Amino acid sequence: MIDIVPETPALHAVAIEDLFDRTFGPGHFAKTAERLREYSASVPEVNRVAVVDGDTVVGVCRVWPLKVGKRGDRALFYGPVAVSPAWRGGELGLKLTEAALEAGKAAGWPAAVLIGAPAYFGRIGFTVTPRGRLTFPGPQDQSRVMVRDLAGDASVLEGLVTGA
């Protein structure tokens, strides 16, 4: 049985980093999305971890605070989302992301930003932003930049996206 729980860094951090390395390889640190995570800390109370047998990590959705545009609008950046190979195919990644979205909304965060596959994440309410609406500290495929309302309105987000 899989339980989806908030991240407890002391219990989960090492296993999560191992899962990221196995899922994405060492090259994931070169991606533009990593520029948003540098010098920032994820939000453990919003992060969600899938565990089996009480403590074996088989999936994760990490979430990071952002500032967007000249006004400094607050948002959460969802990802990376990773699922252990043995647990793929059952929509665990979507379930983790949905649980983290609900936690972000409950915590009062206005909006969610995600870089990913529209066909996949569109199933849980993410929509692709108009080209150029959100810019990043490095190259980014604009067709994969998506937003979703949480406790506010994601459509107001516009400008440079930076880590908070």
pLDDT of residue 16: 87
Q: Is 135 in contact with 158 (CB distance < 8 Å)?
A: no
Q: Is the predicted pLDDT of residue 83 greater than 70, yes or no? A: yes
Percent of the chain with pLDDT over 70: 92
Q: In the chain, what are the domain boundaries?
A: 2-163
Reduced 3-state DSSP string for the chain: CEEEEECCHHHHHHHHHHHHHHHHCHHHHHCHHHHHHCCCCCCCCCCEEEEECCCEEEEEEEEEEEEECCCCEEEEEEEEEEECHHHCCCCHHHHHHHHHHHHHHHCCCCEEEEECCHHHHHHHCCEECCCCCEECCCCCCHHHEEEEECCCCHHHCCEEEEEC
Q: Which of 25-29, 50-54, 143-147 has the lowest mean pLDDT?
A: 25-29
With vertex at residue 8, the alpha carbon angle to CA 116 and CA 30, rounded to the nearest 5 degrees, is 35
> For the segment 87-126, what is each residue's pLDDT rounded down to a tens digit?
988 899 999 999 999 999 999 999 999 999 999 999 999 9
Q: Is the predicted pLDDT of residue 143 greater than 90, yes or no? A: yes
Distances (CA, A) of 69 to 45, 56, 94: 25, 39, 28
Q: Is the predicted pLDDT of residue 29 greater than 60, yes or no? A: no
Mean pLDDT of the chain: 90
Q: Is the predicted pLDDT of residue 28 greater than 60, yes or no? A: no
> For the segment 54-79, what is each residue's pLDDT rounded down to a tens digit?
789 999 999 999 999 999 999 999 98
Q: Is the predicted pLDDT of residue 39 greater than 70, yes or no? A: no
Q: What architecture (CATH level 2) is domain 2-163?
A: 3-Layer(aba) Sandwich (3.40)
Q: Is the predicted pLDDT of residue 30 greater than 80, yes or no? A: no
Mean pLDDT of 6-11: 92
Higher pLDDT, 24 or 144: 144
Q: Is the predicted pLDDT of residue 164 greater than 90, yes or no? A: no
Mean pLDDT of 38-48: 88
